Structure 1
Amino acid sequence: MADDLAELLFKATRGGPAVAPVPLSELGEARAVARATRDLTLAAGDTVAGYKVGLTNQPARDAYGATEPAAGCVYASTVLTAGETVPTAALFAPRAEIEIAFVLGRTLSGPGVTADDVRAATDAIAPAFEIVDSRWDGGPTSLALLVADNTLASHAVIGPRFPVPPDFSDLTCTLTIGDRTAPGSVSAVMNGDPLAAVAWLANHLAAAGEELPAGSVVLTGTLCAPTPFTGGETLVAEVSGMGTLTLPTS
């Protein structure tokens, strides 16, 4: 079943129809679907640019009955440069998030990776947009469906790079879409420590025999509430100490 679901999810990321949810009950089965979808994506010529970490705060985990965060791949074809437009015609119910991206200069291999290890391995951080979207018809109704669908990864825009600050505690943001605003802060990410999100990811990958390679971009979790938008709207992210990042949509 994993291969059949992977084929449907893969096609849904490329303009195919949404996929009818199935009763996946185990995370092992969900991860098999996600791996099979990744294999199809790589076979089609894409590459892994990095990873995303989701469910980085307790309310988000509670909503899915999760005991830890969740991870997904960020593919090179989905990383847009600043000024590019996000196409929405092939998306189902896109939502915008503001995140802090980490750009790694050194490989991180778990287990036992700590926040201090992440700081030492990081070349830079950057403000970022993540666009999330579910390929399941009606969205994921369980943790297993969320994980199987690559933790809803869709597109990302990485802003200008900055050095890692000594302290993240005062970092705040505002997402503006038309006349709507969504405030946020780093407190939504691993109790205010995005370094811990990258450490968790490295140790999570190690459990599957993988490492977090040098050059990877890691989206560390949304600072604000995921906010719906429609094609033609412009997304504006203001991040304290990092300026403004603008993303047009079509």
Structure 2
Amino acid sequence: MADRSDVRVVDPRGKAAALYEARRTRVPIAPFTDTEPHLTLADGYAVQAELVPMLLADGDELIGYKVGLTSLAMQRLIGVESPDFGPVLASTRYADGGVVPMDRFISPRMEAEITFVMGDSLLGPGVTADAARQAVSGAAASMEIVDSRFEDWRLELADTVADLASNGALVVSDAFVPVDDFDSRLVGMVLSRNGELVDTGAGAAALGDPLKVVAWLANVLGEHGLALEPGHLVMTGALHAAVPLAAGDVFTAEFDRLGTVSVRAVDSLDL
């Protein structure tokens, strides 16, 4: 969330409607910053705040949040000093070991990351990584499919925030591991596509500690009286550079301590 007093965006509801339509038709649109280059983080959240109710009105459900731009490399690339976040919706969750249809996306890319599930409520401000550790009930191996409703992934920070932080889908292992007996900073990850190594990473890539991501999110939500609730998923950000995804690909992410998560991409579930 952001201080709405900083919002200068023109017609946030109209922009949200354009994103809603792009999601429905899978036809990308031009970035909002093409015509409004002054748009800020706060403006992006103003559009996001209009888009989410449109999606929930279709019968979807909020099941947690994704946090993006948690690596220093990505923050430097985009030119920001803080992460961003967006909601995770029930319709975007796919089963570990299952299939994901590419006809539901525009230009999907794969990222492997650590996901936590909340055991207790967590309300900022003042939440620390230690408090986050006590509030989460477990961590799991996961992958996020990021997607952009903007043409050719041509976007600025305000655009990606408006577009639910470029969230497309998630695949989370069914096995959540208690976090009391290991250090999430040191969790190593190996990502493979069709049996061949693609990239590697470690938990510390996410703000130096994935639990700091949970704390950051709780504090930002808390500025507006919102809390992380029991059962909420918190996706803590990619541990490597995003990888293109196409029908026929089988991705597997192997995590130290957390196990393995995999998914197969197909053209359509209607075949």
TM-score with structure 1 setting the length:
0.95
Verify the 8 A CA contact 2:68 2:237 in the aligned structure 1: yes
State which of 151, 172, 179 in structure 2 corresponds to 1:137.
Answer: 151
Shift of 1:49: 0.4
Shift of 1:180: 4.8
The aligned counterpart of 1:185 is 202
State which of 71, 88, 111 in structure 1 corresponds to 2:85.
Answer: 71
Q: Does 1:60 align with 2:74?
A: yes
Q: Does 1:37 align with 2:54?
A: no
The aligned counterpart of 1:126 is 140
After the TM superposition, which residues 165-184 of structure 1 pair with which residues of structure 2 at under 5 Å, given as runs? 165-178=181-194, 179-184=196-201
Aligned residue for 1:109, secondary structure, equals coil
Specify every segment of 5 or more residues in structure 1 that has no aligned partner in the other structure, as ranges: none
Q: Does 1:216 align with 2:229?
A: no
Aligned residue for 1:222, secondary structure, equals coil
Identify the range of structure 1 (7-16 vs 144-153) with the bigger mean alpha-carbon deviation.
7-16
Please tell me the residue identity of whatever aligns with 1:10: Y
Specify every segment of 5 or more residues in structure 2 that has no aligned partner in the other structure, as ranges: 1-10, 267-271
State which of 153, 177, 180 in structure 2 corresponds to 1:162.
Answer: 177
State which of 9, 13, 25 in structure 1 corresponds to 2:23.
Answer: 13
Please tell me the residue identity of whatever aligns with 2:230: A
Aligned residue for 1:197, secondary structure, equals helix
The aligned counterpart of 1:150 is 164
The aligned counterpart of 1:247 is 263
Please tell me the residue identity of whatever aligns with 1:168: S
Q: Does 1:80 align with 2:94?
A: yes
Verify the 8 A CA contact 1:99 1:221 in the aligned structure 2: yes
Shift of 1:27: 1.9
State which of 112, 130, 134 in structure 2 corresponds to 1:98.
Answer: 112
Verify the 8 A CA contact 1:95 1:131 in the aligned structure 2: yes
Looking at structure 1, the residues matched to 72 and 16 of structure 2 have their Cα atoms a distance apart, in angstroms, of 29
Looking at structure 2, the residues matched to 58 and 242 of structure 1 have their Cα atoms a distance apart, in angstroms, of 24
Verify the 8 A CA contact 1:175 1:224 in the aligned structure 2: no
Deviations 1:119-165 (A, max 9, x none): 11111110101110011112142111111111111101110111114
Identify the range of structure 1 (5-14 vs 221-230) with the bigger mean alpha-carbon deviation.
5-14
Verify the 8 A CA contact 1:15 1:90 in the aligned structure 2: no
Identify the range of structure 1 (32-41 vs 176-185) with the bigger mean alpha-carbon deviation.
176-185
Looking at structure 1, the residues matched to 257 and 93 of structure 2 have their Cα atoms a distance apart, in angstroms, of 23
Aligned residue for 1:241, secondary structure, equals coil
Verify the 8 A CA contact 1:198 1:220 in the aligned structure 2: yes
Verify the 8 A CA contact 2:252 2:260 in the aligned structure 1: yes
TM-score with structure 2 setting the length:
0.88
Please tell me the residue identity of whatever aligns with 2:22: A
Shift of 1:172: 0.9
Looking at structure 2, the residues matched to 3 and 96 of structure 1 have their Cα atoms a distance apart, in angstroms, of 29
Identify the range of structure 1 (163-172 vs 146-155) with the bigger mean alpha-carbon deviation.
163-172
Verify the 8 A CA contact 1:184 1:225 in the aligned structure 2: no
Looking at structure 1, the residues matched to 258 and 178 of structure 2 have their Cα atoms a distance apart, in angstroms, of 10
Identify the range of structure 1 (14-23 vs 218-227) with the bigger mean alpha-carbon deviation.
14-23
Shift of 1:15: 3.1
Looking at structure 1, the residues matched to 46 and 18 of structure 2 have their Cα atoms a distance apart, in angstroms, of 14
Q: What RMSD, in angstroms, separates the aligned Cα atoms of the two structures?
A: 1.4
